[in-house]
């Protein structure tokens, strides 16, 4: 994720490969640490073959000589697999095999629900399938515990904050009341995943829509039925998927086990428990969907009839009504009410426009303007979309743009003001974080940079790794480059400069050997220490 990094590591006792999850250095805020601890607590509850198992969690002891000290970590089961939808596509699974795979996913989610845990971010990327075809549910970072155990429910969600991944979020998740989210929200996500696995696409195309419009689509619009995509899905499959994705929670499957049971019945050729919606229910749903249009039509008809009657009476009693002061007062009150309703509609329309403008400003990296627009929104109209944009702005200090070609790589220290931005094979920009100013543009000809670099803690020196068995040491004050040769070594994506600025920890790989952590002198290029077996 954007704030976490996962390493493949070897545990010594017992000997096994594990996934080591860390918080990115410099981003370990108290809120993120609480979320990290919460994920460990939640995983500690769950013991199921379909859920990645946690082995250990804690914090690395503080060591001033180590760039990795003071780090919260989670050591968990390493899952060598691919995302669910990618696995189904690459293995070319038929409908039966895809449904059997989804049954095992439902069983894992049901296990979590039975132990009081709602995932809240189920999606194909959080469900990996191993080479043996076994699915594993991952990433319980925003899961919610359904009890009062204060040791577990350490993550609190602010009202108005986006919870989950938009295409897989249920109607209640895009609403403003977080308390409405329960296990049936996960059932909706399972329905979306099942739809995507079978149809090869999402139920709703939300890519080109604004956040408020995407939320409206999820709440109000019905997706294209599977049976309309292919006749293969006509009948029970169409019914099962549609029931899992019902807008109303009460009409969905009430548990993951119910969904799995209906899929099993279908595969066994038995009648399913879910049923197609009745004609009366479909009619009521359409009436609810077009409620305001129906109300407007009814008001118009009633109003027209009332006006005809009124006109007839008015012609006969004109002289008496002219003297009726109470009627005049009622007309004045009605006029004020009408003006008030029009004003409210204008306020809401202006709010929607402001949210769209703020989203456009964010896309243009104008963070300051986004903040001004959001601050101007009336407090009584602010919904979850306002909270989402505010949370993005509040976590961003300022946006820095690089000149020239698009810079794909960045490296900076936590304290120094200078940092480097570059694109492999193009220029290196030495820039200032405080002003965004380009201090120096460096170009070393046709030499191609690797994708790894780091900056010393004081921001005075940067080290780049290249695919030519070399290290580049760049002085960020004099801009002098020193090339250090390494014997038959290739650099990994991981390297760090020690606090003294004279040594670097690099992950090197010689031909036929695994990646090895190596301490290298930045003055002479000599190998100081090789940590075999680390």
Look up residue 235 and give its two tokens: 């009948």
The answer to whether 204 and 167 have CB atoms below 8 angstroms apart is yes
Host H or E run for residue 223: none
How far is the C-alpha of 150 from the C-alpha of 128, rounded, in Å?
A: 30
How far is the C-alpha of 146 from the C-alpha of 355, rounded, in Å?
A: 33
Look up residue 462 and give its two tokens: 């940067």
105-to-78, 189, 221, 243, 391 alpha-carbon distances in Å: 18, 12, 27, 17, 32
The answer to whether 496 and 486 have CB atoms below 8 angstroms apart is no
The answer to whether 493 and 451 have CB atoms below 8 angstroms apart is yes
Show the CA angle centred on residue 39, arms to residues 114 and 123, nearest 5°: 70
Q: Which of 286, 124, 276, 295 is nearest to 198 (CA)?
A: 124
26-to-23, 53, 156 alpha-carbon distances in Å: 9, 28, 22
Residue with tokens 């002085």, as numbered in its chain? 475
Residue with tokens 């031909």, as numbered in its chain? 511
What would the 3-class secondary structure string for 227-275 be?
HHHCHHHCCHHHHHHHHHCCCCHHHCCCCHHHHHHHHHHHHCCCCCCCC
How far is the C-alpha of 80 from the C-alpha of 136, rounded, in Å?
A: 10
121 is catalytic: yes
- Out of 121, 139, 186, 236, the active site residue is 121
Which residues in 302-459 belong to E strands, given as ranges? 409-412, 418-422, 428-432, 438-442, 452-455
In b/e form, how buried is each residue of 122-148, taking b as 16+ CB within 10 angstroms? bbbbbbbbeeeeebbbbbbbbbbbeee
Look up residue 494 and give its two tokens: 């991981």
How far is the C-alpha of 82 from the C-alpha of 9, rounded, in Å?
A: 19
The DSSP-derived string for 116-150 is: TEE-S---GGGEEEETTS-EEE---TT-EESS--T
The answer to whether 157 and 118 have CB atoms below 8 angstroms apart is no
What residues are labeled active site? 121
């Amino acid at each position: 994720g954007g704030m976490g990094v996962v390493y493949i590591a070897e545990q010594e006792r017992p000997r096994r490969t594990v996934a080591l999850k860390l918080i990115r250095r410099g981003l370990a805020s108290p809120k993120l640490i609480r979320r990290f601890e919460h994920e460990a607590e939640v995983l500690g509850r769950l013991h199921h073959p379909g859920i990645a198992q946690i082995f250990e969690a804690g914090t690395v002891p503080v060591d001033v000589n180590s760039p990795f000290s003071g780090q919260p970590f989670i050591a968990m089961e390493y899952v060598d697999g691919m995302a669910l939808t990618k696995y189904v596509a690459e293995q070319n699974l038929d409908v039966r095999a895809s449904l059997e795979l989804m049954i095992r996913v439902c069983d894992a989610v049901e296990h979590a629900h039975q132990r009081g845990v709602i995932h809240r971010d189920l999606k194909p990327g959080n469900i990996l399938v191993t080479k043996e075809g076994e699915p594993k549910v991952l990433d319980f970072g925003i899961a919610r515990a359904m009890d009062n155990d204060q040791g577990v429910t350490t993550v609190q969600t602010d009202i108005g904050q986006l919870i989950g991944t938009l295409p897989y979020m249920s109607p209640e998740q895009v609403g403003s009341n977080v308390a409405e989210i329960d296990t049936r929200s996960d059932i909706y996500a399972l329905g979306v995943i099942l739809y995507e696995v079978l149809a090869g696409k999402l139920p709703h195309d939300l890519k080109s829509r604004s956040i408020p419009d995407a939320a409206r689509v999820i709440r109000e619009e019905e997706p294209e039925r599977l049976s309309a995509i292919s006749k293969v899905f006509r009948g029970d499959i169409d019914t099962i998927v549609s029931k899992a994705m019902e807008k109303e929670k009460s009409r969905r499957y009430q548990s993951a086990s119910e969904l799995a049971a209906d899929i099993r019945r279908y595969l066994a050729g038995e009648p399913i428990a879910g049923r197609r919606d009745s004609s009366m229910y479909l009619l009521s749903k359409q009436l609810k969907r077009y409620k305001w249009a129906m109300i407007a039509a009814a008001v118009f008809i009633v109003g027209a009839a009332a006006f005809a009657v009124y006109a007839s009476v008015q012609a006969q009693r004109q002289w008496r009504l002219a003297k009726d002061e109470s009627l005049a007062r009622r007309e004045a009150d009605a006029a004020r009410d009408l003006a008030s309703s029009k004003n409210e509609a204008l306020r809401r329309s202006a709010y929607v426009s402001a949210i769209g403008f703020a989203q456009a400003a964010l896309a243009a990296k104008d963070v300051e303007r986004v903040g001004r627009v959001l601050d101007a929104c009336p407090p009584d109209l602010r919904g979850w979309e306002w909270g989402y944009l505010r949370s993005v702005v509040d976590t961003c200090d300022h946006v820095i743009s690089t000149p020239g070609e698009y810079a794909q790589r960045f490296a900076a220290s936590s304290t120094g003001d200078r940092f480097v931005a570059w694109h492999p094979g193009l220029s290196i920009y030495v820039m200032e974080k405080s002003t965004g100013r380009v201090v120096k543009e460096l170009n070393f000809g046709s030499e191609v940079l690797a994708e790894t670099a780091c900056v010393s803690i004081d921001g005075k020196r940067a080290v780049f790794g290249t695919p030519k068995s070399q290290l580049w040491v760049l002085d960020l004050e004099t801009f002098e480059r020193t090339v250090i040769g390494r014997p038959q070594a290739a650099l990994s994506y991981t390297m760090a400069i020690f606090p003294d600025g004279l040594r670097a920890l690099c992950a090197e790989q010689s031909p036929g050997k695994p990646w090895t952590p190596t301490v290298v002198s930045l003055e002479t290029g000599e190998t100081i220490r090789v940590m075999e077996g680390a």
